[in-house]
Amino acid sequence: MSLNRTELIAKIAEEAGLTKTDADKAISALQTVLVEALAKGDSVKITGLMSVERTERAARKGRNPRTGEEIQIPAGYGVKISAGSNLKKAVTK
């Protein structure tokens, strides 16, 4: 089972005693803060839950799967998400 955004908002609203509108605003604000921080190169750490950071990817050679032709993949950025201790404990039960 997985939660979609609507279900997540409903669960957060119930757990925190918020309206669904307020829970949706909180999720949207978290998303905005994460995106802006990562775009600047900052990392975000929520103790016990997770840490999110931007990582650099070096330029590398790849292969076009259709033609087999070798291609150059430019350097870029990726996102690394690490589970915090509470999250790790929850999945080992």
Query: Measuring CA to CA, how many Å separate 90 from each of 2, 66, 84, 85, 93?
Result: 15, 42, 10, 9, 6
Task: State whether residue 72 is helix, strand or coil.
Answer: strand
Other beta carbons within 10 angstroms of residue 9's beta carbon come to: 22
Quote the pLDDT of residue 49: 95
Quote the pLDDT of residue 1: 79
Quote the pLDDT of residue 21: 97
The residue assigned the tokens 């931007």 is 54
Distance of CA 41 to the CA centre of its chain: 14
User: How confident is the model over 44-91, as pLDDT tens digits?
Assistant: 999 999 999 999 999 999 999 999 999 999 999 999 999 999 999 999
Higher-pLDDT residue of 50 and 93 is 50
User: How confident is the model over 20-51, as pLDDT tens digits?
Assistant: 999 999 999 999 999 999 999 999 999 999 99
